[in-house]
A and B are shown apart, each in its own frame.
Chain A
Amino acid sequence: MEFVFFVEVLAGGLLAGVMYALVALGFVLIYKASGVFNFAQGAMVFFAALTFVSLTEAGWNFWLALVVTLAAMVLLGIATERVVLRPLVNQAPITLFMATIGLTFVLEGLSQMIWGSQPHGLELGVPDVPMEWLSQRWNVNISQFDLFAALVAGVLVAVLALFFQKTRIGRALRAVADDHQAALAVGIPLQHIWAIVWAVAGFVALVAGLMWGVRNGVQYALTFVALKALPVLILGGFESILGAIVGGLIIGATEKLAEVYLGPFVGGGIESWFAYVVALVFLLFRPEGLFGEKIIDRV
């Protein structure tokens, strides 16, 4: 019985980790292409989900709303490149990071100004309830929706990996990530690449927003899911798509096990900071993360 419960906690944690990884992927994409830690990723998740759900509630067809929201995210990506990033080319990374903090507040305010501040429900047709056969046979509760989210994350990672490895744009993105100046010198249009990567990050934000929106409802608190992605990034590495997934799984499983088995001894409610403890301990041994590139500075 205890072992079954342990398995249930572990499985639940791994599946929760997949949800964290979905958000972390957006951070990784932008960091890979520009070396910028995009503080606004959580706000992008919120903006995407709120736009989609507001359109569907207004009577729009599901697929039309999805396409229009995607278009909005692409436009947002292009606008971000034009207005925020282009004037800051060759500036220090901290300057770009500060710009994304500003973008966060703009996006949060804009979302609520356009669509209002009321929370919304969201259903994608996959119920977030335990699978009966598993429940009855093994007394283990695994949600159908969690498995669906894992499948979506798997497909997303595969598509992104192919995009980065096999396409011309993908290779250009990697070149820009390695060295802005060198990429410019060989004729790679930096502005286009940045616009593309922000648009792709917008698409990832939409997927993450839909998954988290089903779980929590679509509301401002979606911006907080970015906090769940940070320890995942520290652990998995900021440049690695695979790292986002593996980091998500480790963080998800560890925090759930800690909450259930250690929490009761210290008053509970430890999972939110325990994930950071794990990530910080990990930093001591591997500062670049599991799959991150080793940083060698010549002095």
Chain B
Amino acid sequence: MKRIPLVVTLGLVAAAGYSAGAWAQAKEQFVPVNSYWVGPYAAGGSGIAGAMIDYFKLLNARDGGINGVKVTWEKCETEYRNDRGVECYERSKKKGPTGATLIHPLSTGITYSLIDKGTADKIPIVSIGYGRTDAADGRVFPYVFPMITTYWSQNTAKIKFIGAREGGMDKLKGKKIVNLYHDSAYGKETIPVLDAQAKIYGFQVTHIAVPHPGNEQQAQWLQVRQIKPDWVILRGWGVMNPTALKAAAKVGFPRTKIMGVWWSGAEEDVIPAGDAAKGYIAAGFNAPGSNFPVLKEIQKYVYAKGQGELEDKSRIGTIYYNRGVLWGILTTEAVRTAQGRFGKGQPMTGEQVRWGLENLNIDEKRLKELGAVGFMQPLKLSCADHEGGGQVKFQQWDGRQWKVISDWVPSDQKLVRPMIEASAAQYAKEKGITPRDCSKEK
């Protein structure tokens, strides 16, 4: 047999190796997991990010990825800081064969910092349950997706729920509501919509700010006691939540009349408050509990093999964990939708994933296939509507666990959508953006 020169052999091996590597690499969909595992908000960051990774692991182990494309990820610690969030974004945006699929900033502040960058780089900035509300107008914000339910939508659903508890929306006239908010951009986000609703329904709203981080609220709750409101809306984050519940107990305000937003409604918000949290009600866009098929699959394919992301398995089924699974579902379903148009079994670019997000349609049938009926609401996005769902479930803490106490309560889109469009139009004017004509989008 003729001998093949060593150099040629090495060259062939290297080429084959490169080609195999390139092929393997090409069959990967890279998702940056920028979150926070240390610091004041680590409980939320670690739970959500861990669950999202668990869902990716489930897809890889059970289905071989998304139509054969393995999901890959890399964790980056943002510490919930804007500068770190931007650094993580820059570090991860070009990784993987097609760059970052999309970015979950996991912070309203970081979301604001990334709007221009994501738009320029054609990478979707997905803020599920937080972020800039008027970015729901996809004509002005083509690469920003405040999905499932925005803060404004949530707020209108809360007033609907309070109205129902009071015996009808007409019964809200003359009622007093205190909006106890975290003194930050996040906290102030719902003031305009609450004021608008107060005018429509005739209730009196008082906004009381709690300075960051909210670990001292005596003065605020004495003010609440003096006002004697019918309801208190708690728009807190982190330590502000248990402190508020404790302070409410101190002034004798009933916890059954405190309505928290979904960033005030996790186990981590109530357990530190102990008995003071009993009866407290909070909004949610995902259900609590571990009895959903998708979670059982994660237990079976991931945790049973010792590959779970969280050390404490008891966190499966908690609010933050389930929220992270929901993020995983939306992320991978957007990729799957994009593959349907741009090439099944191929990794998608950020631009293609944006199309996938705008054409995402998760109906009851698909929810059943995903093992997530009742776990999350059906949603359908479009070029103009980057929100998609707009519904809220309410839950009550019984001292041990969250109990769901309502069905999906729709938001008041007749009120919210015009406000979103007006605010987005103002933004477009300030930035010199010409809104997209969605009728021309394919």
Contacts and interface: CB of A to CB of B under 8 A. Distances in A.
Contact of B218 (A12, A116, A216): A12
Given A141-B225, A216-B242, A267 B209 contact: yes
Interface string A255-276: 1100110011001111111000
Contacts of B183: 268-269
A34 B146 CA distance: 53
Interface of B: 37-40, 42-43, 46, 183, 207-213, 215-216, 218-220, 222-223, 225-226, 238-239, 242-243, 246, 249-252, 268, 271-274, 276, 311-312
A62 interface: no
A293 interface: no
B190 to A, nearest CB: 16
Nearest to A223: B40
Contact of B42 (A9, A112, A218): A112
A221 B238 contact: yes
Contacts of B38: 108-109, 112, 117, 220
Interface in A244-291: 255-256, 259-260, 263-264, 267-273
A236 to B, nearest CB: 18
B258 to A, nearest CB: 16
Given A119-B271, A215-B243, A220-B39, A12 B215 contact: no
18 contacts: A5-B222, A12-B218, A117-B37, A118-B43, A119-B272, A121-B242, A122-B274, A129-B249, A143-B250, A219-B40, A219-B239, A219-B272, A220-B39, A220-B40, A268-B220, A269-B183, A269-B210, A273-B211
A120 interface: yes
Contact of B43 (A130, A215, A219): A219
A61 B46 CA distance: 30
A74 interface: no
Nearest to A113: B38
B146 to A, nearest CB: 25
B271 A221 contact: no
Given A141-B250, A216-B242, A116 B312 contact: yes
B223 A260 contact: yes
A135 interface: yes
Contacts, number: 128
Contacts of A143: 250
Contact of B243 (A216, A263, A264): A216
B207 to A, nearest CB: 8
Given A219-B40, A219-B239, A220-B39, A271 B219 contact: yes
A130 B246 contact: no
B219 A216 contact: no
A219 B240 CA distance: 11
B238 A269 contact: no
Contacts of A120: 271-272
A8 B311 CA distance: 46
A228 interface: yes
A253 to B, nearest CB: 11
Contacts of A272: 211-212, 216
Interface centre among A119, A130, A255 (most CB of B within 10 A): A119
B215 A13 contact: no
**Interface-centre pick from B219, B223, B249 (highest chain A CB count, 10 A):** B219
Contacts of B42: 112, 117, 220
A117 B46 contact: yes
B209 to A, nearest CB: 3
A9 to B, nearest CB: 6
A112 B207 CA distance: 35
Contacts of B43: 117-119, 219
A271 B40 contact: no
A43 to B, nearest CB: 12
B219 A263 contact: yes
A128 B250 CA distance: 6
A118 B271 CA distance: 10
A222 B238 CA distance: 11
Interface string A215-242: 1111111101100100000000000000
Contacts of A123: 274
Given A121-B272, A271-B216, 17 more contacts: A16-B216, A116-B312, A119-B242, A121-B271, A129-B249, A212-B215, A219-B40, A220-B40, A220-B42, A221-B215, A221-B238, A222-B215, A224-B215, A256-B222, A268-B208, A271-B219, A272-B216
Interface string A78-115: 00000000000000000000000000000011001000
Contacts of A129: 249-250, 252
Interface string A6-26: 001100110010000000000
Contacts of A216: 215, 239, 242-243, 246, 272
A260 B208 CA distance: 10
Indicate the member of A9, A118, A260 with the most B CB atoms within 10 Å. A118
Nearest to A118: B43
B272 A224 contact: no
A-B pairs, top 7 by smallest CB distance, nearest first, are: A217-B272, A269-B209, A221-B239, A117-B42, A259-B219, A269-B183, A272-B211
Max count, chain B CB within 10 A of own CB: residue among A9, A129, A212, A215: A215
A271 B213 CA distance: 12
Contacts of A256: 218-219, 222
Contact of B271 (A16, A141, A217, A269): A217
A217 B219 contact: no
A119 B243 contact: no
Nearest to B210: A269
A196 B136 CA distance: 59
A135 B219 contact: no
B400 to A, nearest CB: 12
Contact of A128 (B223, B246, B271, B272): B246
Contact of A12 (B209, B222, B274, B276): B222
Given A123-B274, A128-B276, A143-B250, A16 B218 contact: yes
Given A121-B271, A216-B242, A219-B239, A268 B209 contact: yes
Contacts of A269: 183, 209-211
Contacts of A270: 211
